[in-house]
Structure 1
Amino acid sequence: MKNKYVDFISDEHFLDCVANLHKAYLKAKNNITKKNFYTNKVDTIKLTFDAKFNDIDEESLIQAEILRQIDKSINNSIGTFHEQILGGIKGFEIGNLSGYDIKAKDNTLFADIKNKHNTMNSSSAEALFQKLSKYADENKKSKCYWVQILAKSSFCELWKGEINGKEYSHSRVYKISGDQFYALLSGKDNALFQLYKNLPIAVKDCLNSVEKSELAKENSALDEIKVKIETSKRTILDQITFENYSYYLGFDKL
């Protein structure tokens, strides 16, 4: 029977991956209490500029800041989603904290997956090259890949060049864009495109199968702040500033 979503992994595996990501979103949303929102200190000076220069009311501004924090916490989960999808292709498996993200079961391929092309500094890039080179040296028939899911172009090429002032190259260490890596593992040139086109359908099916009790409660941070300003009579920004910096000179007067 023809698959409903993509033709390189089973529908069941696809839905499992979507469901896992949905759980990560729920966890991220439920984690934004006022206490967690304040964990790294809120930059209310920047938020003042944002409100005035962008003509945004304070409530919308704080809601956007909360969503930004949720987005930040979910980024790693997007990378995990791709790992899980690719690990469902016949002949491959995910690393499960083994040092690589994806490998061929016959050890002919090892890969480290980054969701975006610009997520590493030079030290991280150097460490990654050394790690992939080690896998290549230990597995003489293997090819090793630095995968950039969201790359600036479509490519598959030897990874060589200067990193931290040192020349690096290896005959079996490559860098590759997300579309090419999906194609390499699946044998389907349009594999990533298939995923993109069918993702909305799979997400809808996933959400339809979820019990309402499992859906996220709205993050409570803003509601908790609004409860406080009912008695303090401060603005939202003043309340956040007071609760973050009342120990600063003069700020206890807010």
Structure 2
Amino acid sequence: MKNKYVDFISDQHFLECVANLHKAYTKAKNNLTKRNFYSNKVDTIKLTFDSKFNEIDEESLIKGEILRQIDKSINNSIGTFHEQILGGIKGFEVGKLSGFDIKANDDTLFADIKNKHNTMNSSSAEALFQKLARYADTYKKAKCYWVQILAKNSFCNLWHGEINGKEYSHSRVYKISGDQFYALLSGQEDAFFQLYKKLPLAVNDYLKSIENSSAITENSALEEINEEIKKTQRTVLNQITFENYSFYLGFDKL
């Protein structure tokens, strides 16, 4: 029987990956209380400029900032989604905190997956090259890959060059774009395109399947801030500034 979504993994596995990512979104939303929202200090100077220069009302601005914080916590989960999808392809498995993200069952492939091409500094890149080179040296038939799901181009090249002033190269360590890695593992050139095309359908099917489940309480940060405003009569921005910087000279007068 033909799959409903993509050809290279089962429909059930696809929906399980979507469900896992939905749980990550739900957790990120639920975790954003006022306390968590303030944990990294809100830059209310920048928010003032954003409000005035971009002509955004303060409440909409804070909602946007809350969504930005949620988005930061979701980015790692997007990488995990790709790991889980790829780990469902026959002959491959997810690393599960083993030092790699994806490996071939016969140890002929190891990969580290990054969602975007620019998520590493030079020290992280150096450490990753050294790790992949160790796998290649340990498993003599293995090819090892730094996978960039969202890359600037479509490519699969040997990874060589200068990192932190040192020359690095290995005959079986590669850099590869997301589309080519999906093609490599699945044997289907358009595998990544299949995923993109069928993702909305799979997400809609999943959401329909949980429609009748209990309602999810989303982030409470703005609700908590608004409760304080009722008492203090401050603006949203002044309330956030006071709660973040009341110990700064003069800020207790807000």
TM-score band w.r.t. shorter chain: over 0.9
Deviation for aligned residue 1:231: 1.5
RMSD: 0.8
Aligned counterpart, 2:229? 229
Aligned counterpart, 1:128? 128
Aligned counterpart, 1:170? 170
Aligned counterpart, 2:141? 141
Shift of the 136–7 alpha-carbon distance from structure 1 to 2, 3 Å rule, reads same
Q: In structure 1, how many angstroms separate the alpha carbons of the residues matched to 2:229 and 2:119?
A: 39
* Aligned amino acid, residue 63 of structure 1: K
Q: In structure 2, how many angstroms separate the alpha carbons of the residues matched to 1:112 and 1:47?
A: 36
Aligned counterpart, 2:29? 29
Further displaced range: 205-214 or 93-102: 205-214
Matches for 1:91-240 after TM superposition, within 5 Å? 91-240=91-240
Corresponding residue SS for 1:115: strand
Residue pair 1:161, 1:169 contacting (<8 A) in 2 also: yes
Residue pair 2:136, 2:144 contacting (<8 A) in 1 also: yes
- Runs (4 or more) in structure 1 with deviation over 2 Å come to 211-216
Residue pair 1:28, 1:70 contacting (<8 A) in 2 also: yes
* Aligned amino acid, residue 184 of structure 2: L
Deviation for aligned residue 1:218: 2.6
* Aligned amino acid, residue 55 of structure 1: E
Q: Where does structure 2 lack aligned partners over 5 or more consecutive residues? A: none
Aligned counterpart, 2:48? 48
Q: In structure 2, how many angstroms separate the alpha carbons of the residues matched to 1:121 and 1:79?
A: 18
Q: In structure 1, how many angstroms separate the alpha carbons of the residues matched to 2:136 and 2:231?
A: 64
Q: Deviations over 1:94-119 (max 9, x none)?
A: 00000000000000000000000000
Deviation for aligned residue 1:213: 3.9
Residue pair 1:29, 1:216 contacting (<8 A) in 2 also: no
Residue pair 1:115, 1:148 contacting (<8 A) in 2 also: yes
Aligned counterpart, 1:67? 67
* Aligned amino acid, residue 194 of structure 1: Q
Residue pair 1:111, 1:144 contacting (<8 A) in 2 also: yes
Aligned counterpart, 2:87? 87
Corresponding residue SS for 1:119: coil
Deviation for aligned residue 1:247: 1.1
Q: Deviations over 1:160-179 (max 9, x none)?
A: 00111111100000000000
Q: In structure 1, how many angstroms separate the alpha carbons of the residues matched to 2:136 and 2:214?
A: 44
Q: In structure 2, how many angstroms separate the alpha carbons of the residues matched to 1:153 and 1:44?
A: 38
Residue pair 1:92, 1:102 contacting (<8 A) in 2 also: yes
Q: Deviations over 1:195-232 (max 9, x none)?
A: 00000000001111115445532311111111111121
Corresponding residue SS for 1:46: helix
Aligned counterpart, 1:20? 20
Q: Deviations over 1:140-177 (max 9, x none)?
A: 00100000000000000100001111111000000000
* Aligned amino acid, residue 138 of structure 1: T
Further displaced range: 221-230 or 16-25: 221-230
Residue pair 2:26, 2:218 contacting (<8 A) in 1 also: no
Corresponding residue SS for 1:103: strand
Residue pair 1:26, 1:215 contacting (<8 A) in 2 also: no
* Aligned amino acid, residue 135 of structure 1: Y
Shift of the 239–212 alpha-carbon distance from structure 1 to 2, 3 Å rule, reads farther
Q: In structure 2, how many angstroms separate the alpha carbons of the residues matched to 1:152 and 1:21?
A: 25
> Alignment length, in residue pairs?
254
Q: Where does structure 1 lack aligned partners over 5 or more consecutive residues? A: none
Tell me the TM-score normalised to structure 2 length. 0.98
Q: Deviations over 1:14-69 (max 9, x none)?
A: 00000000000000011111111111111111100110010000000000000000
